[in-house]
Amino acid sequence: EPEVTQTPSHQVTQMGQEVILRCVPISNHLYFYWYRQILGQKVEFLVSFYNNEISEKSEIFDDQFSVERPDGSNFTLKIRSTKLEDSAMYFCASRVAGGSFNEQFFGPGTRLTVL
């Protein structure tokens, strides 16, 4: 069964460093998302990506964040200069074209720890 994969599963970095979180969505999916969950808090929407551009982003997704689909398979989230408060579990998701009632398939997440 197709699944969304994410690498690495755990990333430890120093404050101020750049990190890139990688995701491989399901191959025929056209909408891509990043969410994060700070320990003990809700899963929060960061950004959606469709047709090679950002379609919607949250207030969290400031200039320190960027997303890219560099080839036909990968979808990346870059944090330019990490802060302590960026420590969280980051989930990638994807879905097929069509209405927003279509299921989003989630990856297992990357746990980012900023020291």
Interacting residues with other proteins (CB under 8 A): 4, 31, 33, 35, 41-45, 48, 50, 55-56, 58, 91, 93, 95, 99-109
First to last CA, the chain: 37
For other proteins, give the closer residue by CB, 19 or 109.
109
Collapsing DSSP to helix, strand or coil, 112 comes out as strand
For other proteins, give the closer residue by CB, 35 or 75.
35
Rounded to a whole number of angstroms, the minimum distance from the CB of residue 15 to other proteins is: 26
Distance CA 17, CA 63 (A): 15
DSSP state of 55: E
Rounded to a whole number of angstroms, the minimum distance from the CB of residue 98 to other proteins is: 10
Distance CA 29, CA 95 (A): 5
Instruction: Identify the bridge partners of residue 113 per DSSP, sorted by sequence position.
Output: 12
Rounded to a whole number of angstroms, the minimum distance from the CB of residue 70 to other proteins is: 21
- Helix or strand (DSSP H, E) at 76: strand 75-79
For other proteins, give the closer residue by CB, 81 or 102.
102
For other proteins, give the closer residue by CB, 70 or 98.
98
